[in-house]
Chain A
Amino acid sequence: MAKEFKTIKTEIRLPYELAYGATWTKFFEGMENEIIYGTKCSKCGRVLVPARSFCPRCFVNTDEWVETAQEGTLTAWSYVNYSYFGQPIKPPFIGALIRLDETDVDFLHLIGGFDLSDFDLVRKTVKNGMRVKAVWSDERKGHVLDIKYFEPA
């Protein structure tokens, strides 16, 4: 039998306090009040969500604020059925790209509102192109998870 070699268990924990700045602050204030904020680019006309301080394509400031629709269409989804250290959401869950109505990028969030432990039910329920709408948490903290998930509309 091959010799077993020793190992050392170690851990790194570091505290951070990250600045949101003006645009993210307003976006998360919106979350607290059940509003999804986007910003519109004056050059290409795209509505970006979450709100951005500038358009990544045109490289101009985006200061026109838009309250986006809370319903949209499912672009893509993935049923996540494995776990890792510090995973913020307990599996199984469904990560999804959602095109909110009248916006021009996909918003990344969760699909839920039904029994996710039954994979066959998930396969039957979730389809690309389906309509979904935001479901808000009762206790909102100015966080992206103030939306609990998007459920089939």
Chain B
Amino acid sequence: MTQMKHSDVFWFVPNLIGYFRVSLGAVVAFSMYYEYPYVTFICYLASGLLDGADGYYARKLGQCSMFGEVLDMVTDRCTAATLLIYLTQLYKSPLLALAACFLISLDISSHYMQMFAQLMVGKTNHKQMDENTHWALKLFYTDKRIFIPLCFGNEAFYLLLYMDKYLPTYALYISIPLTFVALPLCLIKNAINAVQLYVSACELACLDAAKFNKSKK
């Protein structure tokens, strides 16, 4: 069997899906600012669905890779950030803009901190748990019925906020109630991000303290 090279990893099917998601993200950026709401909606939705597909194909085809995991994480952060960036100016409200900036920062920092802590501690997948884990995080990561609606609901909330500015009035009778349904999901998901940020920070601090204490002996 021929030896695999790093360039082969770049051609893995899940990673090709990842590149496609990146290009969908680029299309979304254009369609938002050039005001094609339906293009934005279709592409953002497609990107979200493919987010599930790339993990599925990675496992199915035995093409899991660290590169793919980071590509996936980075694409998630950038597509969410791009939508939130546009939302800061779509609603002419400084308070909502500040909230959006806060959410972008929380998203970036919680995932960054978590990834760093996981790598330092040596877990291979950021969805692994142990007995000492915070109850909210354990519940979130282990129960798919909680994990999927919260992630989906969070993204759906931002996408709905966007669509509410463009849909015809009759469609708003559906989309605005949906937005209100998605709001608590968004709040809970971000609360979990905050918990994750704190827990990961504590893990790093524990490692730092242990290293200090060891070096003092």
Do these two chains interact? no
Which residues of A line the B interface, CB within 8 A?
Answer: none
